[in-house]
């Protein structure tokens, strides 16, 4: 039976994404772009307010598959001991739109987001990047550590987080992987090779003037026009990269609130295909808001690997 055939039984994979490594997920995203997908024309995310928070609907189609993620963002969940992000992903056979797999949407997002960052930082981080500074200590912080270890020779991690306990746990996890790891403050960015922000912050986390010129910074924590993790100082100093300019103009608060106006922003396809400028005399800043085609690329890879 060929992958994606219409008569395949529906497969339930919960969480399912354990079938795919962060590196494999990044490779799958790159393949979609190299095959010609234009992120500027990808379907937009729909957001619907609900009493518990927000429902997000993210449809996409590419190659032999189509799919849709329905994700819930429930800000009160962590206080109940539940995940803030919930949801499911329905993978469909492209030609017939018959369901072929159902994946855990939160687990898929936890894999997809670091994979997208890894795709960008493969091009933007200096080859000998050793010191990673991570803001946040939740699932995305762990996912980004694992994904970035696969693409750069990291030897040191500094964790910056609001809660001391989770920060210490992430540092201990990194030490178990052989890294020199500690909990620090925002000023740690002054010694960073790579900075990743994966928090729910709505205001800047650090002084952008402290970031070294050789460093690469990624911010993945929000998709709202009035929330940001980095300041206008960093945005003003940096070369700018986004998944898609059209989406960033609607959702990337880090850029919108910095007033980027008509500045050049390279999209992920241009970066992957080698068309984007990648300077070394100033920071490189990648802002990710998450797009449906990325979920589809990773969901399809999970499905193929699980066969």
> The pTM is what?
0.90
Residue 158 · residue 182 · CB < 8 Å: yes
Could you tell me if residue 35 is inside a domain?
yes
What CATH number does the domain containing 179 carry?
A: 3.40.50.720
Distance CA 187, CA 184 (A): 8
- To the nearest 10 degrees (0 to 180), the angle between helices 22-34 and 292-305 is 120
Query: Is-contact 237 261, C-beta < 8 A?
Result: no
- Mean pLDDT, residues 91-116: 93
- The DSSP secondary structure of 36-49, one letter per residue, reads T--GGGSPPPEEEE
210 with 266, same domain: the answer is yes
Distances from the Cα of 210 to the Cα of 41, 101, 205, angstroms? 36, 46, 12
User: What CATH number does the domain containing 33 carry?
Assistant: 3.30.1780.10
* Pair (269, 213) in one structural domain: yes
> How confident is residue 307, by pLDDT bands cut at 50, 70 and 90?
low
How confident is the model at residue 134, as a pLDDT? 98
Q: What does the pLDDT read at residue 228?
A: 97
Range of the domain at 257: 115-290
Regarding whether 250 and 130 lie in a shared domain, the answer is: yes
> Among all chains, which residue has been given the structure tokens 């987001």?
113
8 A C-beta contact, residue 172 and residue 145: no
Buried b (16+ CB within 10 A) or exposed e, 17-26: bebbbbebbb
User: pLDDT tens digits for 49-96?
Assistant: 999 999 999 999 998 999 999 989 899 998 999 988 889 999 999 999
Q: List, edge to edge, every strand of the sheet that includes 131-135.
A: 180-183, 156-160, 131-135, 194-197, 216-219, 284-287, 239-242, 265-267
């Amino acid at each position: 039976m060929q992958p994606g055939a219409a008569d395949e039984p529906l497969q339930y994979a919960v969480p399912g994404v354990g079938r795919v490594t962060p590196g494999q997920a990044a490779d799958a995203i790159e393949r979609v772009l190299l095959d010609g997908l234009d992120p500027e024309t990808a379907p937009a995310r729909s957001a619907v307010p609900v009493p518990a928070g927000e429902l997000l609907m993210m449809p996409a189609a590419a190659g032999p598959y189509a799919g849709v993620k329905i994700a819930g963002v429930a800000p009160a969940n962590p206080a109940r001991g539940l995940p803030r992000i919930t949801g499911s992903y329905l993978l469909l056979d492209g030609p017939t739109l018959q369901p072929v797999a159902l994946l855990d949407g939160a687990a898929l997002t936890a894999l997809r987001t670091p994979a997208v960052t890894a795709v960008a930082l493969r091009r933007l981080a200096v080859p000998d990047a050793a010191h990673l500074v991570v803001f946040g200590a939740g699932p995305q912080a762990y996912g980004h550590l694992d994904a970035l270890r696969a693409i750069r020779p990291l030897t040191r991690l500094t964790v910056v987080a609001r809660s001391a306990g989770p920060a210490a746990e992430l540092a201990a996890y990194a030490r178990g992987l052989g890294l020199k790891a500690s909990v620090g403050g925002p000023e740690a960015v002054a010694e960073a090779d790579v900075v990743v922000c994966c928090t729910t912050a709505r205001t800047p986390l650090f002084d952008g003037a402290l970031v070294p010129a050789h460093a690469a910074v990624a911010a993945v924590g929000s998709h709202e026009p009035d929330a940001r993790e980095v300041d206008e100082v960093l945005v003003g100093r940096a070369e700018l990269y986004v998944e898609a300019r059209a989406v960033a103009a609607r959702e990337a608060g880090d850029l919108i609130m910095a007033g980027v106006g008509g500045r050049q922003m390279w999209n992920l396809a241009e970066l992957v295909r080698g068309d984007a400028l990648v300077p070394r005399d100033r920071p490189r800043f990648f802002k990710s808001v998450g797009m449906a085609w990325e979920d589809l690329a990773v969901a399809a890879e999970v499905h193929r690997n699980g066969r």
